Structure 1
Amino acid sequence: MAISTPRASRRDFIRITSTLGLAAGVAATLAACGGSDSGSTSTSTQGGAASEAPAATSSDGTITAGISYELGTNGYDPMTTTSALTVAANWHTMEGLTELHPASREVYAALGAELPKMVNDTTYEVTLRDGAVFSNGSPVTTEDVVFSFERVLNPDNKSLYAQFITFVDSVTAKDDKTVTITTKYAYSLVAERISVVKIVPKAAVEADAKAFDLMPVGTGPYTMTDNGAGSQKVVFERNEAYTGSKPALAKSMVWQVLPDDTTRTNAMTSNTVQAIDAVPVANLTSMTDPIKVAAQQGFGLLFVMFNNAVLTDAKARQAVLYALDYASICKTGMGTLATPATCFVHEDHPAYKKASTVYTYDVEKAKSLIAEAGVTEINLLCTDHGWFSNVRPIIRQNLEALGITVNYQEKKSSDVYGYVDSAEGAWDVVVAPGDPSVFGSDADLLLRWWYGGDVWTDTRMHWKGTETYTKVQAMLDEAVQLTGDKQLTKWQEIFDLLSAEVPLYPIFHRKTPTAYNSETLQGFKPIALTGLSFVEVGTTV
């Protein structure tokens, strides 16, 4: 049973414009922040612009954007990169045999001429599309495809994407146009899941892996010409050799790296850029036509990660979650954009079921649990992402209200993980955002991102080897071999177990707010994922 595409009715996005009636709508949404979220609501646009025929796109135009996330410490190599900016960039320059559309999340044939063809329960074949070449001019071969899968699966490369394709037994070249994918068992999500492996040129990677990491070579509709390392601008040009179904509709793109909220918002309102991500809550209703603001509900979340080697008693971890004032976090901290987690996945997700343990604001219970666990001091470490800047002081105050000592640190995201990964200093609790749904939406993938691979389970949360860890791995492996309701039920059992043990757990799921110029961008669709997508988007300028 494929579950990667949510119900269509859940995909409508809200269009917020600066009207008198909107203010009341936003206030109502704020009041309802702690309740069930039905996805998105809509408000009408002032004036008659919506009924006018769209302007013609310019094949010589340039798409401009402001990106809130900074460049990660690793580069753009699709085997290793996981930062929001570089992953979004790779949507435009790289391709897998299949891809998930960033807006619809529907799987489509990308570098493959068609979706994988099932030969039997454990064998699939994919034929490359005609005329496919890399942006450096070299033709795509089945050898490149095999190499791309093998480098991800090679444990020496420590690719985080390997945990998403554990069902793959082998990928081999049947001939010079077709590859054969053999799975270890019958698997229901082959087409969706192989999209995480981007096909790269073997010769270029082997010749200079570092150069490839800095300036990747792919088969996507755009080619990167400036990686932003020195300029803080990521620049793309149309890939004239592209032969796929989703060609670049603009001649070029320029993405400015603008982590500061005010700078990014000013760039939008002054028409310096045509779209921005992570619109600050304060600006949701202040932008006027032709600027639209959309907030799309997705899996993206703020999570709390525990050092399970220190907070070994689940009661201590539970105490932290019971200490949080979710209503204040949602209303004061996140405005209209957050819903407290009642499960590992958000309520719109096809696998959602309210977890057996749901955390609510209960100070007395939190105090009792933290006392039982014998914890009197917590080292709290938070990332400095601007979009939850109003949430951090609330969390800190909530923990201090337990009568314990809270040692607080705030760092850039890359520095937080460098600090944790290198055991640079003491930490007990990390609060940070996450959104593995950029790689896929099925429950197995979302679970494996945090609870499957060694980077998170061992290096970071020090959870690997525990009884719960072992049980979760067995349940994950069992679930992927099931289908239909049995598969859903098994995933929901994992949700329940994690809700009680909480080695890492969401505080809330969020709507992703995007602003865009509805006159100059044609075909633009706000997405529920972290980042911006200009796949099948053109511009009038």
Structure 2
Amino acid sequence: MPRRSVLTGAGALGVGAVLAGCSAGPESTNETGGGGRGKDRTLTAVIGYGNDGSWDPTQTASAFAMAANHHIYEGLLDTDPITRAPYPALATAVPRDPSATTWRFTLRPGATFHDGKPVTADDVVFVFDRILDPGTQTLAKGFFASWLESVRKTDSRTVELRLRFPFPDGLARLTLAKVMPRHVFSRPGAWDDAVKGLAVGSGPYRQTAHHPKSNTTFEAFAGYNGPRRPAFRTMNWLTIVDAAARVAKISGTGAGAQIADNIPYANIPRLEQGGLKVAGGAGMNNLFLMFNTRHKPFDDVRVRQALHYAIDTEKMVRVALKGHGKPASSFLDEGNPGYRRARTVYGYDPARAKALLEAAGVTGLKVGILAVNVSWIVDCLPTIKASWDAIGVRTTLAPQETTAVFTKLDQKQDYQVVAAASNPNQFGLDADLIMHYNYGPENLWMQYTRWAGHPVARRLFKDMDRATREPDPARKKAMIQDYIDVVAEQAVLYPVVHNELMTAWDPRRLSGIRPQPYPGVNLLQARWI
């Protein structure tokens, strides 16, 4: 889910000025991005999310940009897209002792950036300095600052990471620190260019053109010598948020794409009848409600709880999600290794919802839901409206582009309730990471809710910090589960349902596709047939 820098800088990037030798690329999603035959033909993918968010790897939570960046950039370690097990990417090996407080990495010999310059230890230090800089607010800071003390160069191809305390989970998080060329991004204005789409990495694919709200194109990087060799000569990723247009692009005799994510559940049978493979992944993808706790009566926990109890989540799963989801029984999804059923579970209970509103002294409540226009979220909104209307809460829906919703939040405009999609599995599986992404004391989510100064929030943040530092895995897991009970009870930002994300592809043309439980596609192990 996007954050502040994800949502700025949506203007078109002058690619020719920043990527020497790049083609202009296609101007609309009606183009395929290039020709070619046989193994040299262009792979066309459809992504059901906008490509106009931030492309800065230290900032972005944009589904499109994060998926693309995994093909363009490398971390010291990267992770398997499904198991999230770390493997050597720019580094030559995974540290033997994950519990050590010093990790040393040697860079892969011959690794080069897409502009031909060698990858050096200075580039690694450059990125980590940005992430750890107290004066620079980045999304990545929340994933590293609590446990990583410093990163230093020991020679031109070796870096040393010093940890504040043993933190084995940190190895998988290194994929979130994509190594970026210092000679490119240290220039004045370069970080703004990164937000707008400038992407220069060392990964298997180089970006060749970027057209916000249309498409982004890639080509295999001939200089790549790492573990995930590119299988496609060129790729064209289309951004098509509209569900009907997205399905049309991958189905029928005129299909122009070979793979698409975010497939509407209602279209699965027709796509399968047409010979496509459709498969999903269950994880942290969720529809959440976020309340403005400074807009009365949403400062009252009873009101927040009432609105959750009022929602007929079983109907939502049955009607909107076609069975591909579950009502939330914790902040974490049931498949997460850290899951435990929360002490407070919001089963459908309209009588209890009415009683809570009465206890809070609230009558005649009118609620406007500021919602994102992601297709499956739009499908779920009528159930929320009908459920709230049924308990006497007059509800209006205002779905709009994700960038518009979060621009309003960034501008600190007033709101009552936001309904949006989130999936922290984009960043990883560990519960500590997921909870800090949503409930970190200084992150944007807490700024949006206006809740960080509440006494319960301050106690929660202390409990979260203690759990991060806990060395015993079993004890740490229990501590996280205990504070998730507080998060569930407070319902400031909390899931309504967890759902599967569906990916469709043509198995007659592609092999090696592994549908992932978070937005986007990963084609690093895919091949033409």
Return closer, same or farther for 1:58/1:221 CA change in 2, 3 Å cut-off: farther
Q: Is the Cα–Cα contact under 8 Å of residues 457 and 463 in structure 1 kept in the other structure?
A: no
TM-score normalised to structure 2 length: 0.88
Instruction: Give the whole-Å Cα distance in 2 for the aligned partners of 1:395 and 1:216.
Output: 40
Unaligned runs of 5+ in 1: 1-56
Q: In the alignment, is residue 417 of structure 1 matched against residue 417 of structure 2?
A: no
Residues 415-459 of structure 1, C-alpha deviations (whole Å, 9 max, x = no match)? 1111122123x3111110001111111001110111005343442
Task: Single out whichever of 409-418 and 109-118 deviates more from structure 2.
Answer: 109-118
Instruction: Give the whole-Å Cα distance in 2 for the aligned partners of 1:272 and 1:468.
Output: 52
Q: For residue 177 of structure 2, what is the amino acid of its counterpart?
A: V
Task: Single out whichever of 284-293 and 523-532 deviates more from structure 2.
Answer: 284-293
Q: Which residue of 1 aligns with 2:85?
A: 106
Residues 139-196 of structure 1, C-alpha deviations (whole Å, 9 max, x = no match)? 1111110110111122433111110112110000111111110111111212111221
Q: In the alignment, is residue 161 of structure 1 matched against residue 140 of structure 2?
A: yes
Instruction: Give the whole-Å Cα distance in 1 for the aligned partners of 2:165 and 2:52.
Output: 36
Q: For residue 508 of structure 1, what is the amino acid of its counterpart?
A: V
Task: Single out whichever of 452-461 and 382-391 deviates more from structure 2.
Answer: 452-461
Q: State the 1:120 CA deviation.
A: 7.4
Instruction: Give the whole-Å Cα distance in 2 for the aligned partners of 1:295 and 1:177.
Output: 40
Q: In the alignment, is residue 473 of structure 1 matched against residue 473 of structure 2?
A: no
Q: In the alignment, is residue 367 of structure 1 matched against residue 357 of structure 2?
A: no
SS of the equivalent of 1:361 reads coil
Q: In the alignment, is residue 510 of structure 1 matched against residue 489 of structure 2?
A: no
Q: Is the Cα–Cα contact under 8 Å of residues 457 and 464 in structure 1 kept in the other structure?
A: no
Structure possessing the higher relative contact order (Cα contacts under 8 Å, 6 or more residues apart): 1
SS of the equivalent of 1:285 reads helix
Q: State the 1:116 CA deviation.
A: 3.1
TM-score normalised to structure 1 length: 0.86
Q: For residue 225 of structure 1, what is the amino acid of its counterpart?
A: T
Alignment partner of 1:292 out of 267, 270, 277: 277
Alignment partner of 2:44 out of 52, 56, 64: 64
SS of the equivalent of 1:350 reads coil
Q: State the 1:315 CA deviation.
A: 0.6
Unaligned runs of 5+ in 2: 1-36
SS of the equivalent of 1:103 reads coil
Q: Is the Cα–Cα contact under 8 Å of residues 67 and 257 in structure 1 kept in the other structure?
A: yes
Alignment of 1:199-214 (within 5 A): 199-207=179-187, 208-209=189-190, 210-213=192-195, 214=197
Instruction: Give the whole-Å Cα distance in 2 for the aligned partners of 1:308 and 1:172.
Output: 42
Q: Which residue of 2 aligns with 1:227?
A: 210
Q: In the alignment, is residue 302 of structure 1 matched against residue 287 of structure 2?
A: yes
Q: Which residue of 2 aligns with 1:266?
A: 248
Task: Single out whichever of 379-388 and 443-452 deviates more from structure 2.
Answer: 379-388
- Give the alignment's Cα RMSD to 1 decimal: 1.7
Instruction: Give the whole-Å Cα distance in 2 for the aligned partners of 1:519 and 1:298.
Output: 28
Alignment partner of 1:489 out of 478, 481, 485: 478
Q: Which residue of 1 aligns with 2:126?
A: 147
Return closer, same or farther for 1:201/1:278 CA change in 2, 3 Å cut-off: same
Identity %: 30
Residues 190-249 of structure 1, C-alpha deviations (whole Å, 9 max, x = no match)? 21112211100111001241334422100111001111227x121000011111100101
Q: Is the Cα–Cα contact under 8 Å of residues 125 and 179 in structure 1 kept in the other structure?
A: yes
Residues 95-152 of structure 1, C-alpha deviations (whole Å, 9 max, x = no match)? 1111112233221111111113549731111111111111111111111101101111
Alignment of 1:20-31 (within 5 A): none
Q: State the 1:371 CA deviation.
A: 2.3
SS of the equivalent of 1:160 reads coil
Instruction: Give the whole-Å Cα distance in 2 for the aligned partners of 1:369 and 1:97.
Output: 51
Task: Single out whichever of 472-481 and 117-126 deviates more from structure 2.
Answer: 117-126
Instruction: Give the whole-Å Cα distance in 1 for the aligned partners of 2:351 and 2:99.
Output: 57
Instruction: Give the whole-Å Cα distance in 2 for the aligned partners of 1:384 and 1:513.
Output: 18
Q: Is the Cα–Cα contact under 8 Å of residues 378 and 399 in structure 2 kept in the other structure?
A: no
Q: Which residue of 2 aligns with 1:13?
A: none
Number of positions where the alignment pairs a residue of Structure 1 with one of Structure 2: 481
Return closer, same or farther for 1:220/1:291 CA change in 2, 3 Å cut-off: same
Alignment partner of 1:239 out of 221, 233, 236: 221
